[in-house]
Amino acid sequence: MQAKAVLRMHRATPRKARLVVDQIRGKDVGDAEAILRFTDKRVAHPVMKLLASAKANAVNNHDMFEDALFVKDVQVGPGPTLKRYLPRARGRADMLRKRTSHITITLEERSGQ
């Protein structure tokens, strides 16, 4: 049995979000929450809220035990890119790409406890 939660179109680049989610992959939910609480990255707070949502889905919708949950899989994919223009010298313009991310967390119960 698996429970998951998805955060779509978060305004952080996938490359920066992967730095945070790579730290919690495979960890128990309590340990993952502690790691995210003390991670000094901007994307750590939304990932912590997403982890809490996945945990609530597991406990309330799938009748899983909160103490036996662990992070089975975390995926970060690119979302749509917002394109903006920045004026430059001699009448030119440079394109700014404001990237977004789709983050998915999947929780599962540990067997043998």
Q: What is the pLDDT of residue 113?
A: 56
Q: Indicate the domain borders of the chain.
A: 2-109
What is the pLDDT, as a whole number, of residue 111? 85
* 21-24 contact pairs (CB < 8 A, 24+): 21/47, 21/74, 21/76, 21/103, 21/105, 22/74, 24/51, 24/71, 24/74
Torsion of Cα atoms, 104 then 58 then 41 then 80, to 10°:
20
pLDDT for the residue 29 = 97
The tens-digit pLDDT sequence of the chain (113 residues) is 899 999 999 999 999 999 999 999 999 999 999 999 999 999 999 999 999 999 999 999 999 999 999 999 999 999 999 999 999 999 999 999 999 999 999 999 998 65
Q: How is domain 2-109 classified at the CATH fold level?
A: Ribosomal Protein L22; Chain A (3.90.470)
The model carries a pTM of 0.92
Q: What pLDDT is recorded for position 88?
A: 97
Q: Tell me the C-alpha distance between 56 and 107, whole Å.
A: 10
